[in-house]
Chains A and B, each alone.
Chain A
């Protein structure tokens, strides 16, 4: 009656011989199990890559940044019009903000306009932003070459410019733009630096296609205006975001004499909201993908089941013979279950490797960061083994329960 691994030690060796004996069938089981695991691992890693991308954007933008945009929402002919540029956001507002907003760490006023750039024989229209030095710190945006401009440059309205990566490429090609002359609206500037490549931002603007000049230079020498397009405010603590936003709203309404019942001429944007929407979407995708991965594993398990089932049918006479020669019912169960499990385990492990490769390729194709979630991969492996154990057991039980007399007569 003793049914233990020790008594099956030698039987196990015999089973491995059967794997080779039915090599085509064995290969099919291995493929089935491998594809199940590879599919689950790859899809989960793909979703994780998407999530990591969003998190990376958050890190880049900072979770503690508020943007105050100067824009008027008003009804024209019964329709709401949003986003009209107004000129009411001015130096007094900015100074009040800097003075009064609790927990403010850095800030930068921004003036933006689309202007014509010219360098050598190249020419293009690009957004030009007048910013303060802290702008780049708020955005945690490193330089690819050259130097930032400093507070002194802003004070003296120096005509120097930092180029987005795309602009530098478009205007100067392979040449180094550092120290070169650049005309913005026919005003000569010197290129002081090129910013690192950023790709598409979370708000769909392409920061690489913009030119950055000192705030005062843009306001006085380029545009001759005394208002800002927006103000960026970075807080010391992300927990103060809501409070600070409310405070700014109140302060500016007061300064602009707009009661809380009327539309304001500015908008306090919390970029985190936008990010959180994306993050929620990424998380939903992750959830969906886990279920898809699981169903892939189940389908693979069913494949293993089907092949094991056919194996039992095909080998009925063999089972009868083995029973006549002294195999007990548990021996037959063990034989079939062990055979299937060995194959499924080989397949699942191969699937892990295959999943790694496929994850790399999909990450590259979709321009996502390559993430290999070891925990999830091992979970998929464990799930696959468990499912295959269950699915392989069924035909094995059937094999064990065959009446040896009938099995012997089976043709």
Chain B
């Protein structure tokens, strides 16, 4: 699913001095894996997330997503990749205020160029346990519910990869746990999930952990995972994905 090799990203400061954020990062994430990318702030994990999410391009190295080398893509093509292949879940939910849950879920479908399938949006909301809240304004929902709306939105275009950036960062522990359970469930259905966090407790839900430090992969190790079965079990279930 994801293949990065010798990925580097260097920013240029205002006075022209280069600041390397990622130096040389290589790893592969297979279909159906549940991986956390963990690192302290300033470790380069945000830069890595931006590249994995096709929001940014690497300075050097290559990034293959779903068999496609996207590292040199234009902004426009990366937008299409984001639209169809990546589902984003943000720390602060990033739902549109003054908009209902269903309308928020529909947003990715707006950019496919086709008609918006409301039935599908409602079905996904039902799946994340918010079937009765579809017509509620997102501001009327609790934090946990809002994040579940955001996850439903990420699933709207049925992307193969789910990219979650600190999805529990703004939630209390109970709500955080329900969100993690939902992600685990999605993983069990065969989705590839990459979760960026600095929280070890959250990282423990995944089966593999990639630790980033100073722009390099400091460790890449399997985790027991809290849900039943490891990556292999998930891979075997991937045929039955939603």
Give me the interface of A with B, judged by CB distance under 8 Å: 1, 6-8, 10-11, 13-14, 17, 21-22, 317-318, 320-331, 404-405, 408
Pairs A–B under 8 Å by Cβ, sample size 13: A10-B110, A14-B106, A320-B94, A323-B55, A323-B82, A325-B82, A325-B88, A325-B107, A326-B79, A326-B82, A326-B108, A329-B76, A405-B56
A326 to B82, CA, bound (A): 5
A18 to B113, CA, bound (A): 18
Q: In the complex, which residues 136-187 of chain B have their Cβ closer than 8 Å to any Cβ of chain A?
A: 153, 157
The residue on A at minimum CB distance from B54 is A324
Chain B residues near A326: list those with CB within 8 A.
79-80, 82-84, 108, 111-112, 157
A10 to B106, CA, bound (A): 11
Query: Are B111 and A325 closer than 8 Å at their CB atoms?
Result: yes
Query: Are B82 and A324 closer than 8 Å at their CB atoms?
Result: yes
Chain B residues near A408: list those with CB within 8 A.
55, 90, 94
Chain B residues near A322: list those with CB within 8 A.
107, 111
Query: Are B114 and A404 closer than 8 Å at their CB atoms?
Result: no
What's the minimum C-beta distance from B114 to chain A, rounded to whole angstroms?
7
Chain B residues near A1: list those with CB within 8 A.
76
Give me the interface of B with A, judged by CB distance under 8 Å: 50, 53, 55-56, 75-76, 79-80, 82-84, 88, 90, 94, 96, 98-99, 103, 106-108, 110-116, 153, 157
Query: Are B111 and A11 closer than 8 Å at their CB atoms?
Result: yes
Q: A325-B88, A328-B75, A408-B90 are in contact. Are A21 and B55 (CB under 8 A)?
A: no
- Most B Cβ at <10 Å: residue of A22, A325, A408: A325
From the candidates A7, A17, A317, A320, name the one contacting B103 in the complex (CB within 8 A).
Answer: A17
A330 to B75, CA, bound (A): 10
Q: A321-B94, A322-B107, A326-B157 are in contact. Are A7 and B76 (CB under 8 A)?
A: no
Query: Are A325 and B96 closer than 8 Å at their CB atoms?
Result: no
A325 to B153, CA, bound (A): 9
The residue on A at minimum CB distance from B156 is A325
Chain B residues near A13: list those with CB within 8 A.
116
What's the minimum C-beta distance from A328 to chain B, rounded to whole angstroms?
4
The residue on B at minimum CB distance from A325 is B108
A318 to B80, CA, bound (A): 18
A328 to B75, CA, bound (A): 7
Chain B residues near A7: list those with CB within 8 A.
113
A331 to B84, CA, bound (A): 15
From the candidates A321, A331, A405, name the one contacting B90 in the complex (CB within 8 A).
Answer: A321
Beyond the given pairs A329-B75, A408-B55, 16 more chain A to chain B contacts, judged by CB atoms under 8 angstroms and listed by A's residue number, are A10-B113, A14-B106, A14-B107, A14-B110, A17-B103, A21-B98, A317-B94, A318-B94, A320-B94, A324-B53, A324-B94, A325-B82, A325-B83, A325-B108, A326-B84, A330-B76
A321 to B113, CA, bound (A): 18
From the candidates A8, A328, A404, name the one contacting B55 in the complex (CB within 8 A).
Answer: A404
Query: Are B90 and A328 closer than 8 Å at their CB atoms?
Result: no
What's the minimum C-beta distance from A5 to chain B, rounded to whole angstroms?
11
Chain B residues near A6: list those with CB within 8 A.
113
The residue on A at minimum CB distance from B95 is A321
What's the minimum C-beta distance from B215 to chain A, rounded to whole angstroms?
17
The residue on B at minimum CB distance from A409 is B46
The residue on A at minimum CB distance from B76 is A328
> Which 9 residue pairs of A and B lie closest in terms of their CB atoms, listed nearest first?
A326-B83, A7-B113, A328-B79, A326-B111, A321-B94, A325-B108, A21-B98, A324-B88, A14-B110
What's the minimum C-beta distance from A233 to chain B, rounded to whole angstroms?
77
From the candidates A8, A11, A405, name the one contacting B50 in the complex (CB within 8 A).
Answer: A405
Query: Are A318 and B111 closer than 8 Å at their CB atoms?
Result: no
Chain B residues near A317: list those with CB within 8 A.
94
What's the minimum C-beta distance from B168 to chain A, rounded to whole angstroms?
18
The residue on B at minimum CB distance from A14 is B110
Query: Are A11 and B79 closer than 8 Å at their CB atoms?
Result: no
What's the minimum C-beta distance from B83 to chain A, rounded to whole angstroms?
2
Chain B residues near A405: list those with CB within 8 A.
50, 55-56
A17 to B102, CA, bound (A): 13
A17 to B107, CA, bound (A): 12
Chain A residues near B79: list those with CB within 8 A.
323, 326-329, 331
The residue on B at minimum CB distance from A23 is B98
The residue on A at minimum CB distance from B87 is A325
The residue on B at minimum CB distance from A15 is B110
What's the minimum C-beta distance from A258 to chain B, rounded to whole angstroms?
88
Chain A residues near B88: list those with CB within 8 A.
324-325
The residue on B at minimum CB distance from A4 is B113
What's the minimum C-beta distance from B100 to chain A, rounded to whole angstroms?
10
Chain A residues near B90: list those with CB within 8 A.
321, 324, 408
